[in-house]
Chains A and B, each alone.
Chain A
């Protein structure tokens, strides 16, 4: 069976390997250059984190190459569509299942071997892309403290493996249920994108309750490390929450503070905002930041990967049930 799988997928496998190799070459060349820049920067700043974090922060990444990791977000869906969806559906459409399922190999073993290899291939593709992206992003993550942000979180660590395995399982299951390749492909693509949007936008922020820190406006506070900040701004004495941004804050300030605001307009943190901050402080305002601490990065990666692997397992279980029961 492994040999049959190899014969059926060797062309696709070769193409995938070539694309992966090209991706790896670009990322390696660019990544080495970034690492050298980063090293220069560290030496110039002599380990002073304040020096590294001054605005505007220097740019490390090349715009053209830095699009590649975002483009790679579509890879799981492509694998699920082109390899997963036809697995059962195409055999049924061309009636080759009549032949495949009439051999001494049981259907369960037939499906185990084919689906097993494809799921493994998806995991390897996802893992290789993710490993390269994670390494390539290292200096930029350190500089921008951005590893936890959507976009970075989704392309690094272990979650891309979960996405790839899930998309492949979805393609296989969709093809089996729809019994036709093209609708299977549409379901794999729509389902993958839809679920990714719902989970990353609506579920991920709530895997653990977010932390809110209040601080004095005359001082400053930023969550340490690569935290994921949801919102920040100021809270009035009566509890009114105002998101950061002078356009938002101005209209709700007491008149005495508004006068100070006008003095420093256009406001900028580096100007003499101190009197305004003191005024807000005196009127009972506090600053707040709501965030997920940096220490939760790996728990979040684990939870999200787990969700996708569980869904993949459920989809594969459904596929086995259908294939075993279906009339040949």
Chain B
């Protein structure tokens, strides 16, 4: 069986290896450039974290490539996963494959097993490269927890890849035709990723809200994920705007007078101190709602777990269908 899988997928495997090698070359080339620039900046700024902020790290031709890796799982699921069962049924080769001494369960276990392993390996290699490549940028911008960075680094890409492959295999077994199965993989993967990213991930653990004096300053330490920030009035009205334009209309008249030019911007000029003192005196506070940086790995773990569980469920469904279907 292993040999059969190798024969069926050797072209695809060779293509995938070639693409991975090309990606590795680009990542290493760009990554070393970014790293050396980062080292010289760190040396110059001598540990002054404010000094490091405004610098531009190399954003060369390959800047968008890490985001492109978001599509790797769905491609594998559509091109390798969806045809696994569906193509055998369409071309009736299942008649032959399923009438051998190898049971259907073993046939599926070996084929799906190798493909899931290949997906995990692809996802893992790509994620490892992107994580290393993005290291300086993450350190500079403290953005590892923010959406496109979180999704392309750490261990979640492995979960995405395994899930997309399982979705492809299951869709092919359910729909029995390759092309609709590919459509299901694209829609299902992109749709689920979108829903989990946008609506579920922010609530995997209860967010922390810190209130602080308007005249003071606070920002969550490290690479925290800021979900919301703004000011809150004495009556509890929250304005989700950092230093804001939206804030202006809700301020008491005595404070509005102090807004230079009709709209305040924190830090733009020292004259704003009067405005902040006024807000403070009127009982306003500022707030930041965030997921602390220390939750990065728990979040990675939970999200990977969700996708792996879904993948397991899809594979179980596939086994149930393949065992029962008339050959």
Contacts and interface: CB of A to CB of B under 8 A. Distances in A.
Contacts of B56: 243-245, 248
Contacts, number: 128
A50 to B, nearest CB: 7
Contacts of B114: none
A172 to B, nearest CB: 15
Given A58-B246, A193-B71, A246 B51 contact: yes
B245 A44 contact: yes
B48 A181 contact: no
Contact of A48 (B53, B63, B147, B261): B261
Contact of B197 (A67, A82, A185): A67
Interface of B: prevailing SS: helix
Contact of A51 (B53, B63, B147, B262): B262
B44 A251 contact: yes
A40 interface: yes
Interface of A: prevailing SS: helix
A168 to B, nearest CB: 15
A125 to B, nearest CB: 14
A54 B55 contact: no
Contact of A265 (B50, B64, B78, B179): B50
A150 to B, nearest CB: 7
Contact of A44 (B45, B178, B262): B262
A67 B190 CA distance: 11
Interface string A199-231: 011100000000000000000000000000000
Chain B CB within 10 Å — which of A37, A58, A197 has the most? Answer: A58
A185 B83 CA distance: 12
Contacts of B246: 37, 40, 58
Contacts of B241: 58-59
A201 B64 contact: yes
Contacts of A165: none
A81 B182 contact: yes
B254 interface: no
Interface of B: 15, 40-42, 44-45, 48, 50-56, 61-65, 68, 71, 75, 78-79, 83, 87, 147, 178-179, 182-183, 186, 190, 194, 197-199, 241-246, 248-249, 261-263, 265-269
Given A41-B245, A56-B242, A193-B68, 10 more contacts: A44-B245, A44-B249, A45-B263, A51-B263, A54-B265, A58-B246, A59-B241, A82-B186, A247-B45, A267-B50
Interface of A: 15, 37, 40-41, 44-46, 48, 50-51, 54-56, 58-59, 63-64, 67, 71, 74, 78, 81-82, 86, 90, 150, 181-182, 185-186, 189, 193, 197, 200-202, 243-248, 250-251, 265-268, 270
